[in-house]
Amino acid sequence: FCLFFVGTFETVCISWVYGVNRFYDNIEDMFGYRIWPVMKFCWIFVTPLSCAAIFLFTVIKYEPLKYDGWYEYPPWGYAIGWLLAISSMICIPIYAIYIFLITKGSFMQRMRKITAPSDDLRQPKKQQPPSPPPEGIIHPDRNIPDVNTTPYFITFT
pLDDT of residue 134: 56
Per-residue pLDDT at 157 exceeds 80? no
How buried is residue 92: exposed, middle or buried, by Cβ count under 10 Å (0-12/13-18/19+)? middle
pLDDT of residue 101: 93
pLDDT of residue 81: 87
Look over the chain and give the mean of its residue pLDDT values, rounded to a whole number.
Answer: 77
Per-residue pLDDT at 102 exceeds 90? yes
pTM value?
Answer: 0.55
Per-residue pLDDT at 82 exceeds 80? yes
For the segment 112-150, what is each residue's pLDDT rounded down to a tens digit?
Answer: 888 777 777 666 655 444 555 555 555 555 554 445 555
Least confident of 77-81, 93-97, 126-130: 126-130
